[in-house]
Structure 1
Amino acid sequence: METSTHSNRILPARNVWQRYGVTDRTIDRWLFQPGLGFPRPIVINRRRYWNECDLIAWERSRTDGVEAI
């Protein structure tokens, strides 16, 4: 099990787009789909930021129950 040393990092929207290989509009769509459970951003001066630990938890929740082949 990996220990997270970056749980307090705050990522700007651009880093989140790059992390998932999507556009800003895709992130907006994810946010408007409650069933998807994508983490809500922190808004500072009209810019969006995400807690990296929230993104990691979301990624893990998406892979729960999926076994490697």
Structure 2
Amino acid sequence: MQDNQKQYITASAVCARYGGITTMTLHRWLSDDSVEFPRPMQVNRQRFFDVTELDAFDLRMRTKVPAIRANSAA
């Protein structure tokens, strides 16, 4: 596989990646614009998520959540 080729994972793999969340939780994250969860591409009614976009989401959440906790503790 080439280095510049994107990698995609299925919705069920995304659920497993985030601690075994349900497909309903994934649906809610996608429906809630404030979560800013990466949008999938759809092929034959199956959703595929770009791993690079998921990694960027994880990084944003790691920096965003501590700031929210700090503000709520004050």
TM-score range, shorter chain: 0.7 to 0.9
Runs (5+) with no aligned partner, structure 1: none
Structure 1 residue 40 and structure 2 residue 39: aligned? yes
- CA distance in 2 between counterparts of 1:51 and 1:18 reads 15
CA distance in 1, matches of 2:18, 2:63: 18
Match in the other structure for 1:11? 9
Q: Which has the higher helix share?
A: 2
Find runs of 4+ consecutive structure 1 residues off by over 2 angstroms.
Answer: none
Identify the structure with bigger relative contact order (alpha carbons < 8 Å, sequence gap 6+): 1
Matched with 1:51 is 50
Q: Note the alpha carbon deviations across 1:24-68, whole angstroms, 9 max, x for none.
A: 11000000110110000110001001000000000000112549x
Q: Note the C-alpha offset of 1:19.
A: 0.2
Identity of aligned residues (%): 31
Measure the CA separation in 2 of the matches of 1:38 and 1:15: 15
TM-score relative to the length of structure 2: 0.76
Task: Output the TM-score relative to the length of structure 1.
Answer: 0.81
The 1-side partners of 2:50 and 2:13 are apart by 11
Provide the aligned C-alpha RMSD in A. 1.9
The higher radius of gyration belongs to 2
